[in-house]
């Protein structure tokens, strides 16, 4: 992927040096050591799949406490970490500038989301953000939350290396911001309230639409020769790596389609490719 380091984006909110995650209240910490590696990985994957903290079922609460960061390295001491922040900044700015141009044709004006970088745990308008839950977008404060160590997980555990795999993740989360600006997030919530039995199916459609919107951005990068076919393959691997069926199989050895919330690997790659090939928001109606 062709990109030029340009410092840190104005839309990044860096909380990696905060000791308390930016808020009070009960949180949970210190789970890894007594669970063992296997148990920690299983709970991590389940937490990522179902967007809830499965660690709380096996760990006692520690009201008002946070993980000890006394041995953490300052965020800018490691040159590789600085490079990663510069890359994330480049992708974030490129995605948002792209939507500034594209969104008016779809019926809305674009306003920038913020990207919160944190370590271990922080606060969001949607509740506590933890590394175990993976990257997510919070419509309440219009911010994307990510612990950059997730990219290590994506590469090492989920088998999706490459810069464009990381770019896909960010573009997907900004896709949720686009959905909010278009009123699609509100429509989906109303549908879920009106038909609770279809809640998971609607969630899958919503996530697949965000994959498609990530593909729309990727279409523009291909035209601008920022990415090539190898990068596209990397993005498709990333979409497949976080499919519900694959994550469930990693966690439990079996697949339960009725509990899907994000879509299967095949569905996610299909909708990402649809946006990539069409370059049109109108091609992303995954609710049909």
Cα radius of gyration rounded to whole Å, the chain:
18
Quote the pLDDT of residue 212.
96
Closest C-alpha among 66, 68, 47, 212 to residue 131: 47
Matching residue, tokens 């951005």 = 217
Phi, psi of 26 (to 5 degrees): -70, 130
Distance of alpha carbon 103 from alpha carbon 117, whole angstroms:
26
User: Which run of H or E residues covers position 143?
Assistant: strand 143-146
Which of 62-71, 260-269, 272-281 bottoms out in mean pLDDT, i.e. has the lowest?
A: 62-71
- DSSP letter at 236 equals H
CA 123 to mean position of chain CA atoms: 16
Q: What confidence tens digit (pLDDT) does each residue in 135-173 have?
A: 999 999 999 999 989 888 888 877 777 788 899 999 999
- CA 131 from chain center: how many Å? 11
Neighbours of 184 (CB within 10 A): 20
93-122 residues labelled b (16+ CB within 10 A) or e (exposed): bbbbebbeebbeebebebebbbbbbbbbbb
pTM: 0.78
Say whether pLDDT at 92 is over 90.
Answer: yes
The answer to whether 40 and 15 have CB atoms below 8 angstroms apart is no
Question: Lowest-pLDDT range, 86-95, 154-163, 215-224?
Answer: 154-163
Question: If you average pLDDT over every residue of the chain, what do you get?
Answer: 80
Asked if pLDDT for residue 264 goes beyond 80, the answer is: yes
d(CA 94, CA 78): 25
HSE-CB at 120 with a 13 A cutoff on CA atoms is 20
Sketch the domain layout of the chain as residue ranges: 12-284
Q: How many CB atoms lie within 10 A of CB 257?
A: 12
């Amino acid at each position: 992927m062709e990109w030029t380091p340009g410092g840190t984006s104005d839309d990044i909110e860096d909380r990696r040096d905060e000791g308390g995650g930016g808020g009070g209240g009960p949180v949970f910490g210190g789970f890894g050591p007594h669970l063992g590696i296997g148990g920690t990985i299983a709970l991590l994957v389940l937490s990522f799949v179902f967007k809830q903290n499965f660690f709380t079922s096996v760990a006692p609460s520690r009201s008002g406490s946070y993980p000890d960061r006394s041995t953490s390295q300052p965020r800018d001491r490691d040159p590789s970490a600085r490079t990663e922040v510069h890359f994330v900044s480049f992708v974030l700015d490129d995605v948002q500038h792209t939507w500034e141009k594209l969104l008016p044709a779809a019926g809305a004006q674009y306003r920038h989301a913020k990207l919160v970088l944190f370590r271990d745990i922080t606060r969001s308008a949607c509740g506590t953000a933890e590394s175990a839950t993976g990257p997510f977008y919070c419509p309440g404060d219009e911010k994307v939350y990510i612990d950059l160590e997730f990219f290590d997980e994506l590469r090492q555990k989920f088998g999706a290396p490459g810069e464009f795999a990381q770019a896909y993740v960010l573009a997907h989360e900004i896709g949720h911001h686009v959905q909010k600006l278009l009123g699609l997030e509100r429509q989906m919530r109303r549908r879920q309230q009106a038909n609770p039995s279809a809640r998971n199916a609607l969630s899958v459609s919503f996530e697949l639409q965000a994959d498609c919107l990530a593909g729309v951005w990727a279409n523009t990068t291909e035209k601008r020769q920022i990415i090539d076919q190898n990068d596209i393959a990397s993005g498709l691997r990333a979409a497949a790596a976080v499919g519900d069926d694959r994550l469930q199989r990693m966690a439990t050895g079996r697949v339960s389609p009725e509990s899907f919330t994000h879509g299967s690997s095949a569905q996610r790659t299909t909708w990402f490719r649809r946006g990539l090939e069409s370059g049109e928001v109108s091609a992303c109606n995954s609710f049909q």
